[in-house]
Structure 1
Amino acid sequence: MSYFKNAATLLLLQALLCACSRAAVESPTLPYVLNHSTTGKTYYHLMYALTADNLLSVERMDHAQFVANGGQFEVEIKQSAFPIQAPHCEGNIILRMPWVSAGNDLSEKYQLYSALTTLVDSAKGSVSVALELNPYIEKTAEGIQLQYCNVFFRHVYKQYIPHVKALSQ
Structure 2
Amino acid sequence: MQSLKSLGAHTTYPTDYDPSLLETFENKHPDVEYFVKFNCPEFTSLCPITGQPDFATIYISYIPQSKMVESKSLKLYLFSFRNHGGFHEDCINVIAKDLIALMDPRYLEVWGKFTPRGGISIDPYVNYGKIGTKYEQMAQHRLLNHDLYPEKIGNR
| Same fold flag (TM > 0.5) | no
